[in-house]
Amino acid sequence: MKKMIYREEFDSLGPVKVPAEAYYGAQTQRALDHFTISGIRLPSFFIANIALIKKHAATVNNALELIDAKKAEAIYNAACMVMDGCFDDSFLLDVYQSGSGTNTNMNVNEVIATRANELLTGKRRTLVPVHPNDHVNCGQSSNDVFPSAIRMTALTRIVRNLLPALLHLHEALENKARAFSHIKKIGRTHLQDAVVMTLGDEFSGYAKQAQLAVERLESVRKRLLALPLGGTAVGTGINAHRDFAPRVIDRIAEESGFDFYEAENHFEAQSCMDTEVEVMGVLKTIAVGIARIANDIRWLASGPRCGIGEIRLPAIAPGSSIMPGKVNPVICEAAIQCAAQVMGNDAAVTHGGTGGFFEINLMQPMIAHNLFASIELLSGSATLLADKCIAGIVANEARCEENVRKSLATVTGLVPHIGYDRAAEIAKKAHEEGLSIEEAATGEKVMPQADLKKALYGE
């Protein structure tokens, strides 16, 4: 077994041993020693957005004559390497840590400082000549950096991953709505037969849900664009140059392609997570919609012979270890499970939003984790549902027609012609004698056959 080699690092609490190959320093090591709870880490794409802030902060601080050019260049280059994932193995902190995300912010500061010092001196050390607090964190606080990175990450993942996935799902559902527009089927309310509709009508409702999901996400974009950067510790901006935040945010906006701007009120932006709670609420709503669509589809495909069986799903995998030939709606079931997890995440984020005591919210890492996880779950499940299920659905036209012909609910079409009570009598007769509504109504000679078919089936 290889012997672990350490280097000694220092912070305000004194010396601590850090693995020699690590790029983090004493403050991160102390956090690692105390916050090993779940083994869940904040994702690398979130760390990359913190590094993006540090990268442009270095350039702006140099322009403001707060950091010399050599240190700023080294910080810039080190931050770029963090963004590229070069030091992912140095970001080991648990999600459940300091509620403001201070440990993660310091982790990024230390990794960037250590690499910057390595670039400048050839030696891997954390504090000199580039210091993680004095230089990498110059003009910043965990209290404005961490919530800024949350919003940057949420928006970019929504726009680049979730919105395309939902648009793709919408397109797949729209295609089926058009393809099935001519297929008459029986509608259902309260799980009981209702009036005649088309299979295309049914799928158009699902498509509209996906469209509205996109619109709901677009409605929160502006609030995610407002970054708390510049407020530092409590929102007053102490120790930050007045030009620091707007200049850094302008550079972030230019590189990312998103119109980020400085939050109008730093005290609101840093102390509460209302925007994140709102976004999570939209994600929950989308999850509810996906679960509803997936559930309907698996019910419509139930059977294949002893259920509803109006559609057929693509066969993905054997459905049973004991029943040969059984194929289950596994894609629908996976999407439903993802939706359930997102709904649970919403409960956690909602409670997290209540943690904004005075000038800081103490549940930010947990909020970030659940928010990002929900975006990824919905992006993946929407794509999976579209590609592996919706695209391969085939209508069972014979079954749809059979269900329409034998349904008692078609009697509703006779009401305008013979009245509610007379129509009820015909339905009762059909049910008691095992007849279709068409057969019972024909026997009662309520109207000419051509008019009867038109009233019952829209033919």
Annotated catalytic residues are: 190, 320
- Bridge-based pairing of strands 226-227 and 184-189 is unpaired
Look at phi and psi of residue 8 and say left if phi exceeds 0, alpha if psi is from -120 to 50, else beta.
beta
30's tokens: 């102390």
154's tokens: 């949420």
| Measured CA angle at 242 (ends 359, 272), to 5 deg | 20
DSSP 422-449: HHHHHHHHHHHHT--HHHHHHHHT-S-H
Question: With 0-12 CB in 10 A as exposed, 13-18 as middle and 19+ as buried, what is 320?
Answer: exposed
Helix (H) or strand (E) holding 10: strand 6-11
- Bridge-based pairing of strands 226-227 and 261-262 is parallel
Which one-letter amino acid corresponds to residue 181?
A: S
Sequence-distant (6+) residues with CB within 8 A of 131 are 113
Q: Report the alpha-carbon distance of residue 325 to residue 323 in Å, rounded.
A: 6
Distances (CA, A) of 275 to 78, 268, 272, 379, 411: 31, 10, 8, 20, 51
**395 in helix, strand or coil?**
strand
Helix (H) or strand (E) holding 440: helix 437-444
Beta bridge partners of 261: 226
443's tokens: 């026997």
Q: Report the alpha-carbon distance of residue 217 to residue 192 in Å, rounded.
A: 34
